[in-house]
Amino acid sequence: MTDTIELPIPLNILTTAVDEIMKKRGYAPAKSTEGKTIKMKEFAQKYCGGKAMPWIRLFIFDEFPEVDFKNGGWVVNPRKSDEGSKTFIFEKPAAEWMETHRGEIDWNAKLP
């Protein structure tokens, strides 16, 4: 005879319980950026230390044309054009690119 007991627990209930325990202990599950788009203001705060939007357009979007969606990048409409005026960013590839290239950006550059 064993001293164990088997209880069928639905996975969704177990997941919720584990998430609650993790939150109580300060280990909140990371929010996924998969498939998420963000606006310029959020991008500036999360990835650019609160830099102004004109600064980001000039020193990131213009300096690194590969970030433009038309060039296979992660920012759609980095500047107003006939094709569109609303800028939005695919967060996951943007975060990955920013992490990889942060050393190439002149964070002390001044707007003209």
pLDDT digits (tens, 9 = 90+) for 40-99: 999 999 999 999 999 999 999 999 999 999 999 999 999 988 888 899 999 999 999 999
The pLDDT of residue 34: 81
Element (H, E) at 67: none
Cross-sheet strand order for the sheet of 75-76: 37-38, 88-90, 75-76
- Cβ neighbourhood burial of 89 (10 Å; 0-12, 13-18, 19+): buried
Residue 89 · residue 41 · CB < 8 Å: no
Neighbours of 47 (CB within 10 A): 19
- pTM for the model stands at 0.71
pLDDT in tens, 68-79: 999 999 999 999
